[in-house]
């Protein structure tokens, strides 16, 4: 299995563009997948530089309804007319991030909700024997505190985001269980535990942002929170790959405790599993 990071906040390669957001290109035995699409059309520029053919993609998964993960949807649909785009129904609800107590829109463009390539997913959605999407599981371990600034709107009322629009991907390949998430708003440990319940075995590779850094204020989770998270990560016999909303400072802090089980991915990085 091959993964190419097409969009992440940082990029060391000069011909690639870093952007606050996420887009992963994944080649499995049966599929060519884009997991998230970044905030805009940046993924198209980087895909061309990385030798990724966007027109050959057959599956798109949008992890949740925030613009930094699905803002490139329109650009993708203009380029690729055959791939199915798997997304939770609530991903098209209006979503907001409170900045100085003022709600700032951070959701997707709802005009794509009825597009023929869109496939709405249930809490458990089996694409095939190798790809499973899941949105269930509500553990309480190390849930990001920055979730409190996020809101969703149903009707006229804005309320705390329930993250019913978040989903994660399980890839079963070569006897390994690989879980891919966007921001892990429900908590990376809880997501891993739910994936283990679904598969009946432990996760081998976890790839996800951890949502430890606020994108506006740049504030990070407390050391106490990070210590709890590191303790729980170390309990799992698993390789962790993170990026984006984790933040480099939080990654460095965690890496000192978790060690070589934890890795940071940047725009342009290629991962072979």
Q: Does domain 2-272 have CATH number 3.40.50.300?
A: no
pLDDT for residue 216 is more than 90: no
pLDDT interval class at 100 (50, 70, 90)? confident
Residue-level pLDDT at 82 = 98
Residue-level pLDDT at 137 = 81
Residue-level pLDDT at 177 = 98
Mean pLDDT of the chain, nearest integer: 97
pLDDT for residue 7 is more than 90: yes
pLDDT for residue 72 is more than 90: yes
Residue-level pLDDT at 263 = 98
15-60 pLDDT, tens per residue? 999 999 999 999 999 999 999 999 999 999 999 999 999 999 999 9
Domain residue spans of the chain: 2-272
Rg (CA), the chain: 17
| pLDDT, mean of residues 190-213 | 97
| pLDDT, mean of residues 103-125 | 97
Quote the percentage of the chain above a pLDDT of 90: 96
Cβ contact 3:273 at 8 Å: yes
pLDDT interval class at 232 (50, 70, 90)? very high
| Residue whose token pair is 């785009």 | 85
Residue-level pLDDT at 98 = 93
Q: How far is CA 170 from the centre of its chain?
A: 12
78-98 pLDDT, tens per residue? 999 999 999 999 999 999 999
For 261, counting Cβ atoms within 10 Å of its Cβ (0-12 exposed, 13-18 middle, 19+ buried), the class is middle
Helix orientation angle between 223-234 and 188-199, rounded to the nearest 10 degrees? 20
Alpha carbons 115 and 61: distance in angstroms, whole number: 15
Vertex 186 angle, CA 181 and 192, to 5°: 55
- pTM comes to 0.97
130-152 pLDDT, tens per residue? 999 999 887 899 999 999 999 99
Residue-level pLDDT at 250 = 98
């Amino acid at each position: 299995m091959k993964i190419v990071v097409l969009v992440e906040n940082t990029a060391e390669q000069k011909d690639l563009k870093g952007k606050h957001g996420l887009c992963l290109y994944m080649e499995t035995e049966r599929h060519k997948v884009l997991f998230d699409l970044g905030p805009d059309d940046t993924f198209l520029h980087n895909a061309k530089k990385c030798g990724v053919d966007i027109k050959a993609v057959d599956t798109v998964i949008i992890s949740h309804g925030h613009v930094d993960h699905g803002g490139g949807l329109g650009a993708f649909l203009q380029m690729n007319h055959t791939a199915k785009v798997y997304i939770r129904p609530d991903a098209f609800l209006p979503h907001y991030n409170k900045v100085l107590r003022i709600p700032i829109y951070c959701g997707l463009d709802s005009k794509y909700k009825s597009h023929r390539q869109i496939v709405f997913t249930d809490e458990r959605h089996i694409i095939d024997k190798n790809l499973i999407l899941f949105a269930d599981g509500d553990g309480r371990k190390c849930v990001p505190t920055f979730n409190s600034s996020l809101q969703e709107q149903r009707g006229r009322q804005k309320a705390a985001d329930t993250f019913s629009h978040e989903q994660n991907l399980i890839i079963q390949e070569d006897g390994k269980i690989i879980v891919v998430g966007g921001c892990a708003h429900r908590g990376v440990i809880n997501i891993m535990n739910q994936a283990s319940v679904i598969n009946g075995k432990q996760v081998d590779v976890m790839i996800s942002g951890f949502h430890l850094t606020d994108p506006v204020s740049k504030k990070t989770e407390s050391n106490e929170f990070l210590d709890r998270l590191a303790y729980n990560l170390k309990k799992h016999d698993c390789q962790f790959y993170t990026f984006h909303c984790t933040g480099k400072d939080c990654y460095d802090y965690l890496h000192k405790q978790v060690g070589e089980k934890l890795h940071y991915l940047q725009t342009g990085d290629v991962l072979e599993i």
